[in-house]
Structure 1
Amino acid sequence: MKTLTCRQLGGPCDLALTGETADDIIKAQDRHLREAVRGGDVAHGPAHEDMKGRWRHPLRAMGWYRETKKAFADLPGA
């Protein structure tokens, strides 16, 4: 298990997101952003819009995805 924070993934807070793979953490970030915005947290709005854009336009988002995968791979741990 490895951990990245919401902030490390482009969000505004330091919530720890843990997963076995980078994709697990990306999905956790997506859920976190959706829930925060649904709960009225306006600080998470821009990151949520960015995330929605990445899901809609995956080819354009490959740079962010590669950076996130590298950040995950560079983390110590299993």
Structure 2
Amino acid sequence: MKTMTCHQLGGPCDLEHHGENADDVIAAQDRHLKDAVKAGDTTHQQAREEMKGRWRHPKQSLGWYRDMKQTFADLPET
């Protein structure tokens, strides 16, 4: 299990996401951004829009995805 924060994934806060792989923490970040914006947290709006764009255009977002996978791989186990 490894941990990445909202900030490490492009968001504005330090909420920790835990997962067995990068896809787990990316999915957790997506849920976190959706929930934060739905609750009226405007500080997460830009990151939410960027995440939505990545889901809509995955080929264009491969660089970000590869970077997140590498960052996750470089993290120590928690």
TM-score between both structures, scaled by the size of structure 2: 0.98
Number of aligned positions between the proteins: 78
Q: What is the alpha-carbon distance in structure 1 between the residues aligned to residue 17 and residue 77 of structure 2?
A: 14
C-alpha separation between the residues in 1 aligned to 2:40 and 2:77?
A: 35
Secondary structure of the residue aligned to 1:8 is: coil
Runs of 4+ in 1 over 6 A off after TM superposition: none
Separation of aligned partners in 1, 2:76 and 2:17: 15
- Which deviations, in whole Å up to 9, do the C-alpha atoms of 1:17-75 show, x marking residues without a partner? 00001000000000000000000000000000000000000000000000000000000
Structure 2 gap ranges (5+): none
In structure 1, the residue corresponding to 2:3 is in which secondary structure? Answer: strand
TM-score, scaled to structure 1: 0.98
1:77 deviation in Å? 1.2
Could you tell me which residue of structure 1 aligns to residue 51 of structure 2?
Answer: 51
Identity of aligned residues (%): 64
Could you say which residue in structure 1 is the equivalent of 2:33? 33
RMSD: 0.8
Secondary structure at the aligned position of 1:7 is classed as: coil
What SS class does the counterpart of residue 50 from structure 2 fall into?
A: helix
Amino acid at match of 1:5: T
